[in-house]
Structure 1
Amino acid sequence: METLVLLTARTNRLIRHLPKLTLAVLLLFTIPYSFGQKTEAKLAFTVTMEDPASQLYHVIFRCEGLKGETLNFKMPVWTPGYYQLMNYAKSVENFRATDGSGNALKWEKTANSRWTVHPRQAGTVTLTYDIRATRNFVAGNFLDESHGYISPAGVFLHPEGQLKHPVTVTLKPYTKWPQLIATGLDSVGGQPQTYVAPNYDILYDSPMLMGKLEQLPSFEVNGIPHHFIGYNLGPFDRAQFIADLKKIVAGSAAVIGDIPYKHYTFIAIGPGGGGIEHLNSTSISFSGEQLNTRAGRNRMYNFLAHEYFHHYNVKRIRPVELGPFNYDQENRTRMLWVSEGFTVYYPYLILKKAGLMTEEEVFSGLQSNIASYENKPGHRFQSATQASFETWEDGPFGRTGDEAYKTISYYSKGPVLGAMLDFKIRHESQNKKSLDDVMRALYRTYYQKQQRGFTEKEFWAECEKAAGTKLTELADYAATTKEIDYPNYFAYAGLAIDTTSSELPGVWLGISFREKGDSLLVTETEWQSPAWNAGLRNGAVILAIDGQKATVDALSAISKNKKLGDSVRLLVWQNGQQKETTAVVRKKSERNFRISRLPNPNPLQSAILKSWL
């Protein structure tokens, strides 16, 4: 995602080196000019949480100097970085409006996410409301006796038409907690726990974590401080982790050649799933226990590198549709396969060059990406650009339910397209250019100079400029379901890829399941599998198998004990009725897409592989 930036990129670089007093004067004169509007009004939030067991944040929003016969206040319906409608407004409770003397003002809710207040010429309007915070998720709001997390789009109202207005936030954590707060916002000098955002885009881009937190030792990259603060971090080697995290940050910055922020904070909300990128922070689910195995460490480091690299790719190097934002509706783009997919691809190389992944692990990562969509039918129905545009309905990993087979995830196809584009540019330029040059050009041209996002046409123009040739076939691979010639593109980098099919052991029924009481719940039915053709769908409950009670052992035994063409009788409860159906099992073939070095690469292939890794 992207937000409006208060200062130009050039000014940002300058102010990092100015004394505090000079900086304050610079901001004083820069703010009115940058906003392009008068800023006499003063907007200030105070958030308290003195009864965290209630899971309610109490919000006081004091607005001084807003003009109008009526004032509309709105809450976003989504948060940038998570491309799903959230309906944050449903969590607002106990809404009230008063004037400067505490007298009640008339108000009504005039839309799902809009409150209209009648100020009666009041110079000050104060809104008070509670936010029910029960979703422990990086795009949600959460509060309990141990910690609190705020996703700002779901807490802070904005006056309609005033998104560019500066705003302050004072947080008052529960008194029994340490008063440490993790956020990317700048603090206000002399006002404890008070932060300033130059506009609402910055505020909505700056989550906050409070509670029984732990702060790991900070580190610097290129003189810029980086912090890691989290809740319930778990057991792991903290010194080694920080040393490795510094390598990840340094390796990412080396790709673009610039660090555009004054400070950066990793905000670890505790165990779970999910992460969301921000301009100078990231919210991540984190469990240090994962770092105690090689596989777990690889997953965690890839995840951290992904969320960190996003502050370049999507926050600053962004499709033009992703900012300035419309917080009232979906913000669609066809380019998430670049914004998200390339941000899956780059961590492989960043971690390899930092000595945190092996060559084989890089190959395995790309191999898994290819197999995850090529071995599912969705690649025949949906392109990467369609998956990007339709994510608001489908979800980030494709549809669930009966139509899951029609979709793919841009998280899977995007990194593969990124690798192939990288190989093609290196090959056509005789290894003088790479995808890095494209990313740097997009960063300099559209973020730093023009302060906007790029169009699809401009993206492909930068790619073709680096390659020195047209890239029509690659553009088709992104925008269509055309079969991809993987061997040709991977050979550019001296790599072989196995695209042959092989038969999986045992016979195939085609369902995933979990235990539900004394039966089995079908969680996924593969398209055109024996189970699919027998009428089973997600949500069906299997009661009996071949006349015997349905158990995990009985279902697992089908693959071992049945032969090709054998029947399986299933008694199921589906769509409110009990029925018996028969599935005829068969064999299943898949491609593994194993990647390896070519045995006899030519000099250009060897050079590309060496520089790529």
Structure 2
Amino acid sequence: MHKIATSLLVALAISGAALAQAPIQYSVAFPNAVHHEAQVTVVFSDLKPGPLQVRMARSSPGRYALHEFAKNVYAVKATDSKGKTLTISRPDPSGWDVTGHDGTVRFSYTLFGDRTDGTYAGIDERHAHLNIPATLAYGRGLEDRSAQVRFELPTGWQVATQLRPETTANTYFAPHLQYLMDSPTSLGVQQVRTWQEQGKTIELAVLHEGTAAELDTYADQTKKIVREASAVFGELPAFDFGRYTFIANYLPQTSGDGMEHRNSTSLTSARPLRGQGAIDNLGTVSHEFFHAWNVERIRPKSLEPFDFDRANQSEALWFAEGFTMYYGDLLLRRANILTEDQYMKELTTIVNSMVNSPGARLYSPVQMSQQAPFVDAAAAIDPNNRVNTYLSYYTIGGANALALDLMLRQKHQTDLDAYMRAVWQQHGQGQQNFAPQRPYTLPDLQRILGEVARDTAFAGQFFRTHITGHELPNYEELLAPAGLLVRRARPGQPSLGFLDLTFAPQGATIAGSTLVGSPLYLAGIDREDVLLKLDGKKLKDREALQKLLKKHKPGDVVPVEVRTRAGVRTVQVTLAEVPSVEVVPAPTATPEQLAFRAAWLGSKVK
């Protein structure tokens, strides 16, 4: 073949390939923001003949249940490149098929959104906080195409997002659908604090009603968290566009949430940036920033790539979320944001939840992780028995992270930081096309634990016993070398068990299931039963119940008159000691124990 002809064919082939990958173009405007609406237009061009399948996501990265975002989309229209109205059909609840196009489809719709959090879209005259799966429709078969998003902003609003800015004002780029959907965006009057860390730009973009001084202090605390997290792994991730953004919305109408993303995090809370509100908000900052390594780049194979058409189940959320929960609080202590007493309260919560959960004795962290599609903000109206069968993968994972850290420090001359660094080096550092090169499996995590501990038998036993098994760690023994006691929080006080009671003149209604093994459970009393009398006295309010209980001691048998579905009866209930435990410093801690505690909880920033 002639050389010129060959060159021409190659050029045409390249040109054709470029056309086939024409970017998806989005426009988002807010002409009716006061009524929580956005107008969204999507232009799909250079399409192949045949129907275009347009869909809204059913799930969202970082969430594991179905959310059916199409329910908030209406006034759908579609035209071709010449403005001709196209035929739209509705093949399923989450999407629309568009036929008769000329290679271009201009798809437009109205989006309603009035929940400002990490999952949905919150729109009003002050701001728009957009989770992209809840906001932007996409075309099936076009997932590899890049996208350009243009925001038509009300006066004074700015954009906070991990999307790459384009040269055109208020226009942003995503390399493909996975990155686009992982890119939350906040629009409003941003207050921004920016600094450099290890040659990378970290920015805190905030909507709030507080003072500039409060934000300055908050930014300083955030810097400490960033440095302590980096110290665990030995480095910051290579943020894809050289920048990491804390996208924070702290307005009064905001729902509390935190949602991790590859180069940013969505932070939402109605709490102010002062006092306890600031500390609570910083807890979310700490947790979510740790995710920049753990779950965003150190990613379970079961979640990669994320599927927007279904609930995404993973066996590894005990590690992805639970170990991150453990470090979220630990980093606050190391950064001296939490005092030692405050950190003891966090340890008390996690240990107390673990040792008093019937579910933790039934199911392993792996099995709890697999329950996420049913519990991760999933909506259902039928009652369940999760109080007896479930413990959050956050809690059960965090409790096992605590146990493993202490085991490694006491018996293997290493620690959980070293383990996390090893997992990072083997399964997180290598990235390609904005995704991990080597997502991990459970055998990978066990193998690396054996390498770090230099004890493969220990690693196998730990996973069999505590991760795929459900044996509880012995926290009393594990915390003792740090000079910490695990003890009964209210020794000698009698109890009917952990109860959610609603009081009325006729008695106390049990709102949820009674806990397995509790006094009322053993007496055959359950949810929706009404406690009428104890010791022959009416239970008008919580104070009356507590006064009656104080007359007894654990082990006493007391008559309880109760109305059940079978009628009114009196049963004999054996009172038990209040089961709550607490973690407190031992008053006689030795220098060795104090040194152990300092090495564990002290700053790692050099």
Bucket of the pairwise TM-score, normalised by the shorter protein: 0.7 to 0.9
Correspondence 1:210 to 2:196: no
Q: In the alignment, residue 454 of structure 2 is paired with which amino acid? A: G
Q: 1:371-401: per-residue Cα shift (whole Å, max 9, x none)?
A: 1121121112121111111111234799973
Q: 1:132-173: per-residue Cα shift (whole Å, max 9, x none)?
A: 213333201121222222110112122112222100111123
2:444: which partner in 1?
458
Q: Distance in 2 between matches of 1:166 and 1:206?
A: 13
Q: 1:183-232: per-residue Cα shift (whole Å, max 9, x none)?
A: 1211111x111111111111111111223x34143222223222222333
Q: Is the 8 A contact 1:273 1:285 kept in 2?
A: yes
Cα separation, partners in 2 of 1:534 and 1:99, compared to 1, 3 Å: farther
Cα separation, partners in 2 of 1:66 and 1:568, compared to 1, 3 Å: same
Q: Distance in 1 between matches of 2:487 and 2:371?
A: 29
2:87: which partner in 1?
106
Partner-residue secondary structure (3-state), 1:237:
helix
Q: Distance in 2 between matches of 1:518 and 1:277?
A: 47
1:588: which partner in 2?
577
2:227: which partner in 1?
250
* Structure 2 alignment gaps of length 5 or more: 1-13, 432-436, 602-606
2:408 equivalent among 400, 421, 425 = 425
2:205: which partner in 1?
229
Cα separation, partners in 2 of 1:468 and 1:602, compared to 1, 3 Å: farther
Partner-residue secondary structure (3-state), 2:599:
helix
Q: Is the 8 A contact 2:237 2:293 kept in 1?
A: no
Correspondence 1:140 to 2:129: no
1:200 equivalent among 163, 171, 177 = 177
1:165 equivalent among 133, 142, 145 = 145
1:261-272 matched pairs, under 5 angstroms: 261=239, 262-270=242-250, 271-272=254-255
2:163 equivalent among 166, 182, 185 = 185
Identity of aligned residues (%): 25
Q: Distance in 1 between matches of 2:47 and 2:379?
A: 44
Q: Is the 8 A contact 1:81 1:277 kept in 2?
A: yes
Q: Distance in 1 between matches of 2:364 and 2:570?
A: 34
Correspondence 1:281 to 2:264: yes
Partner-residue secondary structure (3-state), 1:341:
helix
Correspondence 1:63 to 2:39: no
Correspondence 1:441 to 2:422: yes
Shift of 1:361: 3.4
Q: Is the 8 A contact 2:130 2:184 kept in 1?
A: yes
Q: Distance in 2 between matches of 1:517 and 1:58?
A: 51
Correspondence 1:526 to 2:509: no
Correspondence 1:508 to 2:496: yes
1:219: which partner in 2?
195
Q: Is the 8 A contact 1:495 1:597 kept in 2?
A: yes
Q: Distance in 2 between matches of 1:366 and 1:507?
A: 23
Cα separation, partners in 2 of 1:490 and 1:37, compared to 1, 3 Å: farther
TM-score w.r.t. the length of structure 2 is 0.84
Q: Distance in 1 between matches of 2:165 and 2:190?
A: 19
Q: Distance in 1 between matches of 2:81 and 2:505?
A: 58
2:308: which partner in 1?
327
1:20-419 matched pairs, under 5 angstroms: 39-120=20-101, 122-173=102-153, 175=154, 177-189=155-167, 191-211=168-188, 213-234=189-210, 237-256=214-233, 257-261=235-239, 262-270=242-250, 271-289=254-272, 291-293=274-276, 296-395=277-376, 401-419=384-402
Shift of 1:428: 4.6
Q: Distance in 2 between matches of 1:486 and 1:133?
A: 45
More moved, 343-352 vs 515-524: 515-524
Q: In the alignment, residue 317 of structure 2 is paired with which amino acid? A: L
Cα separation, partners in 2 of 1:435 and 1:534, compared to 1, 3 Å: closer
Q: In the alignment, residue 172 of structure 1 is paired with which amino acid? A: E
Q: Distance in 2 between matches of 1:473 and 1:60?
A: 55
Q: In the alignment, residue 559 of structure 2 is paired with which amino acid? A: S
Q: Is the 8 A contact 1:58 1:129 kept in 2?
A: yes
Q: 1:53-83: per-residue Cα shift (whole Å, max 9, x none)?
A: 2222111001110213122122221111122
Q: Distance in 1 between matches of 2:245 and 2:19?
A: 32
1:479 equivalent among 468, 483, 489 = 468
Q: In the alignment, residue 199 of structure 1 is paired with which amino acid? A: H
More moved, 346-355 vs 161-170: 346-355
Q: Is the 8 A contact 1:171 1:193 kept in 2?
A: yes
TM-score w.r.t. the length of structure 1 is 0.83
Q: Distance in 2 between matches of 1:592 and 1:94?
A: 55
Partner-residue secondary structure (3-state), 1:149:
strand
Q: Distance in 1 between matches of 2:160 and 2:506?
A: 45
Q: Distance in 2 between matches of 1:260 and 1:415?
A: 26
Shift of 1:357: 2.6
Q: Is the 8 A contact 2:237 2:429 kept in 1?
A: no
Cα separation, partners in 2 of 1:136 and 1:479, compared to 1, 3 Å: same
Aligned length: 564
Q: 1:276-332: per-residue Cα shift (whole Å, max 9, x none)?
A: 011111111234536314xx5443322210011111111011111121111111222
Correspondence 1:569 to 2:561: yes
Shift of 1:579: 5.0
Shift of 1:245: 0.9
Q: Distance in 2 between matches of 1:539 and 1:227?
A: 50
Cα separation, partners in 2 of 1:434 and 1:553, compared to 1, 3 Å: closer
Q: Is the 8 A contact 1:214 1:233 kept in 2?
A: no
Q: Distance in 1 between matches of 2:488 and 2:532?
A: 38
Q: Is the 8 A contact 2:157 2:190 kept in 1?
A: no
Q: In the alignment, residue 592 of structure 1 is paired with which amino acid? A: V
Q: Is the 8 A contact 2:163 2:174 kept in 1?
A: yes
Partner-residue secondary structure (3-state), 1:448:
coil
* Structure 1 alignment gaps of length 5 or more: 1-31
Partner-residue secondary structure (3-state), 2:77:
strand
Cα separation, partners in 2 of 1:509 and 1:347, compared to 1, 3 Å: closer
Q: Distance in 2 between matches of 1:486 and 1:544?
A: 38
Cα separation, partners in 2 of 1:562 and 1:505, compared to 1, 3 Å: closer
Q: Is the 8 A contact 1:335 1:385 kept in 2?
A: yes
More moved, 38-47 vs 392-401: 392-401
Partner-residue secondary structure (3-state), 1:85:
coil
Q: Distance in 1 between matches of 2:185 and 2:507?
A: 43
Q: Distance in 2 between matches of 1:557 and 1:443?
A: 55
